[in-house]
Amino acid sequence: MDEVARTARISRPGLYFLFASKQDLFRTAVTQAIEQDLAAAEEILADTGKPLRERLIGAFDRWAGRYVGPMSRDVPEVIEQNPDLLGTITRTAPKRFEKLVVAAVGGQAATGVAQTLISASVGLKHQVETREEYLGRMDTAISLLVP
């Protein structure tokens, strides 16, 4: 907590004034990161000046690609062992991301395509070691499902 306070350029008591506990600080930091990722994915998907496949790979990179590797194995374990640690964001954020992908894909099969891509993404995060590997394989998945 000393390092966090020092980095934030506030006193440790000031940090505890803003956050009642380490858990509150952690929840706030993770929630902010997730909100930023969702906003970035939404912006990427809304850029209709780019091909859909490019927008999808950009959105999946922002949503999941940058979390590939050891962290993709550690974070779910922390969440599983501490279900109340992050609150509802662990349920609501993935649903929001899915809605963004469905809207971008459009058409009758949009929900199925979005859910399949999300399933591929989840699986890939546990199969690959690098972001580049993840992106290459997600690009393949997207090219199979999106014309």
Judge contact between 68 and 125, C-beta under 8 A.
Answer: yes
* Mean of all residue pLDDT scores within the chain: 89
Is residue 98 a part of any domain in this protein? yes
Q: What is the pLDDT of residue 95?
A: 96
Tens digit of each residue's pLDDT (9 = 90 or more) over 122-135:
999 889 999 999 99
Is residue 6 a part of any domain in this protein? no
Q: What is the pLDDT of residue 76?
A: 63
Tens digit of each residue's pLDDT (9 = 90 or more) over 112-123:
999 999 999 999
More confident: 52 or 31: 52
pLDDT band at 22 (very low <50, low <70, confident <90, very high): confident
pLDDT band at 70 (very low <50, low <70, confident <90, very high): low
Q: What is the pLDDT of residue 99?
A: 97
More confident: 30 or 82: 30
Q: Which domain holds residue 86?
A: 36-145
CA distance 50 to 104: 12
What residues have CB less than 8 Å from 110, skipping those under 6 apart?
102, 103
Is residue 22 a part of any domain in this protein? no
Look up tokens 């394989």; give the residue. Answer: 137
pTM (2 d.p.): 0.84
Q: Name the residue among 21, 23, 126 with its Cα closest to residue 83.
A: 23
Is residue 83 a part of any domain in this protein? yes
Is residue 5 a part of any domain in this protein? no
Q: What is the pLDDT of residue 141?
A: 97
Is residue 137 a part of any domain in this protein? yes
Phi-psi region of 50 (alpha: psi -120 to 50; beta: other; left: phi over 0): beta
Mean local confidence (pLDDT), 102-107: 95
Q: What is the pLDDT of residue 7?
A: 82
Is residue 121 a part of any domain in this protein? yes
Judge contact between 69 and 131, C-beta under 8 A.
Answer: yes
CA distance 122 to 129: 13
